[in-house]
Amino acid sequence: MKKIFSILIFALLSCSLLADEGMWLPLLLEKYNIADMQKKGFKLTADDIYSINHASMKDAIVIFGGGCTGEMISNEGLLITNHHCGYGTIQRHSSVEHDYLTDGFWAMSRKEELASPGLTVTFLVSMEDVTDKVLEGVTSDMSDGDRATKILANISKIKEESVKGTHYQARIESFYNGNQYFLFKNEIFEDVRLVGAPPSAIGKFGGDTDNWMWPRHTGDFSLFRVYCGKDGKPAKYSDENIPYTPKKFFPISLKGVQEGDFTMVFGYPGTTQEYLPAVAVEQVMYDSDPTRIAIRDKKLEVIKAGMEKSKLTRIQYSNKAASIANGWKKWQGEIKGLKRLDAVNVKRNFEEGFQKWANDKPEYKNLLDDYAKVYAEMKPLNLAYIYISEAGLGSYAVSFANQMRMLESCKDASAENLQSLKEMALSKSKGNYKDYDEQVEIRLFAEMTRIYAENMPEKYWPSTYSSIDKVAKSASDKYMAFAEYCFSKSVFANQEKFEAFVNGLSSKSAKTLQSDPIYNIAKEIIAIYRNEIQSAIVDCDERIKKLDRIYMKAQMEYEPQKRFFPDANFTLRVTYGQVSPYQPADGIDYLPYTTLDGIIEKDNPDIYDYKVPARLKELYEKKDYGRYADKDGKLHVAFTATNHTTGGNSGSPVINGNGELIGVNFDRNWEGTMSDIMYDPEMCRNISLDIRYALFLIDKFAGATHLIDEMEIRK
């Protein structure tokens, strides 16, 4: 175990990585990165970024919700993140009468800030290498099962002891595919209130068309405030709570950025897979990504057709459409980028040299052959899982029916338990049917059934599918006819039918569920997965994880001169680079920034995503940019840099060499989305909102100057 750790240290210290690739642990910057960062323009120290002895930048960073980053920008609990990170909350507060998605929202006083139940922010208290403790008692002669059991027991004990007597929560994550472990102590705040959000015409300007693209003109930010009890500790929502005073918040720079300027992104990148073998990359490129894209093509077609017909449906499905489209477009860019880099052959060329080195090392000799075998087994299982999750359970009616399978327990429930089931079901149904249009759902059900039935072997069909031809009879579209039949017979078809069923719930209601077509489809598809597919996938996953752990260690031994960064796993990381343009294709040179001029050029009143608000056009005509204009006289909107980012970095602060906030990270360029698997310094760029554009919108557009007044603005 100590030998493994020494390999990691040596690999990290040996040399610098090319360009600006890498997502680094802030705890280890002093040893491995700070000199390189300072060479590139960072003027502070590693201790200014991460310290447990005094306030540092890490104390201003939060996990926002469950999958984004946010940062503190005042000593009164004010937080900024992306508009798309706050989108779900904004949507839940929206209605036809108060359409905050379309109109925006600005709390002009603390009393107007909107409580957002279920929304949390998480501060990191400390991180610690606990590899020795986690692997204590683990021996090389253990079976895989015994090894995993021992590690889990050690982790449970470490977590419990680390937060005993505190209100903190503990998390332990593996790094380098299980060769190293870190403990993270967190403080979680539950009272988080919506403070401000621009209209979607600004915060989501360009919509799905511009998503992942550059040039970009999106004002992608929203504001929230963290509240706490009077003792400064986390507390559930209460009118008595007060704004939280963070240990650290970011000062904001008005200087802007120039090409070549140092930039640092500090946040929670979600997942990368930089060290995959060639066979795994091949499956991503030619199987997994294309299959998901094809299914989501149809989902988006159905949903967008419904959204175009009704303002209410547009509100109801806006967040769903954005969520579906995000991965759909990213995967397309990923395939294109991997093909351009000839990623599979690059990996194979590496593996050819690796195999020659490994031939006289028994522990590594058969690694690549073992990978080939397990991925061959995984391929059909993986495709089956995609069709089940994306198509079989891909309509919201079926997915909600799956969530309600606990209702079948009504047949043996006591009066007290029946009441509990009713309350739980009705509570969940409110969220489901609030964003639900029956006609859209019928069409979506039809198309997902079509895809599932036409691509999955009949042995994986739910029994209800056997009636498709019988129900359709002479219908021109048998899947649409089947969908209409299922909805006519199902209690899940709409809110009225579902609530009537739940309100009348009794021990006899189980029979109704057993004859419900939508319920049976959900129940049987889950059963098919669990009985026919799940155990085989788990077995393959476990074998792959073991191979990954050994292969990671082997790669570090094979290339001791290379500095390896750990794959992203939604733990706090630092990535750094420089403001930089790029050339996406022959004859095209992109500037590293965009301006308000580009928004006006894209203005199209007939297209929802490009309809520029009148107030913004008025400010543009007057050139009323206040102190937020760049020295070129223009209002800059966004900029690109070479920071290595991924999902989860949405909302992360972009920091200059002085430790000041200059932007909010919100995307990557489409040509660089393969960076989760293979980074290309010439093409990979992160896209950030210029913080001056956010300040301009808060101040000049919204008139919420009181929010500007609580920030520390530096000229």
Q: Dig out the tokens for 3 from the structure.
A: 């030998």
Q: What count of other Cβ atoms lies within 10 Å of the Cβ of residue 109?
A: 7
Query: From CA 583, how far away is CA 68, in angstroms rounded?
Result: 29
Phi first, then psi: give them for residue 508, nearest 5 degrees: -80, -10
Catalytic: 84? yes
> How is 488-513 classified by DSSP, letter by letter?
HH-TTSSHHHHHHHHHT--TTHHHHH
Instruction: Give the residue from 467, 594, 585, 603 showing the smallest Cα distance to 524.
Output: 467
> How is 132-146 classified by DSSP, letter by letter?
HHHTTT--TTS-HHH
Query: From CA 310, how far away is CA 332, in angstroms rounded?
Result: 29
Locate the DSSP E strands across 168-221. Answer: 169-175, 180-189, 191-197
Catalytic: 116? no
Locate the DSSP E strands across 207-296. Answer: 222-228, 242-243, 252-253, 262-267
Query: From CA 130, how far away is CA 136, in angstroms rounded?
Result: 10
- Choosing from 20, 99, 220, 437, which is the catalytic residue? 220
Pairing mode, if any, of strands 636-641 and 653-655? unpaired
For residues 228, 234, 239, 244, the Cα torsion angle rounded to the nearest 10 degrees is 10
Query: From CA 53, how far away is CA 123, in angstroms rounded?
Result: 16
Query: From CA 229, how far away is CA 93, in angstroms rounded?
Result: 24
Q: Dig out the tokens for 222 from the structure.
A: 């929203």
Q: Which helix (H) or strand (E) holds 129?
A: strand 121-129
Q: Is the separation of the CB atoms in 349 and 307 below 8 Å?
A: no
Q: Is the separation of the CB atoms in 698 and 704 below 8 Å?
A: yes
- Choosing from 162, 650, 652, 675, which is the catalytic residue? 650
Runs of H (alpha helix) within 15-143: 29-32, 34-39, 46-49, 83-93, 100-103, 131-134
CB neighbour list of residue 690: distance below 8 Å, 6 or more residues apart = 256, 257, 593, 636, 637, 638, 639, 662, 663
The three-state DSSP-derived secondary structure of 530-554 is: HHHHHHHHHHHHHHHHHHHHHHHHH
Catalytic: 650? yes
Q: Dig out the tokens for 391 from the structure.
A: 């198509």
Query: From CA 189, how far away is CA 185, in angstroms rounded?
Result: 14
Q: Dig out the tokens for 102 from the structure.
A: 């379309």
- Choosing from 20, 74, 84, 318, which is the catalytic residue? 84
Q: What count of other Cβ atoms lies within 10 Å of the Cβ of residue 146?
A: 13
CB neighbour list of residue 105: distance below 8 Å, 6 or more residues apart = 90, 93, 114, 194, 196, 197
Q: Which helix (H) or strand (E) holds 9?
A: helix 2-14
Locate the DSSP E strands across 65-115. Answer: 68-72, 78-81, 105-106, 114-115
Instruction: Give the residue from 82, 83, 74, 84 showing the smallest Cα distance to 110.
Output: 74
The b/e string for 569-589 (b: 16+ C-beta within 10 A; e otherwise) is bbbbbbbbbbbbebeeeeeee
Which residues are annotated as catalytic? Answer: 84, 220, 650
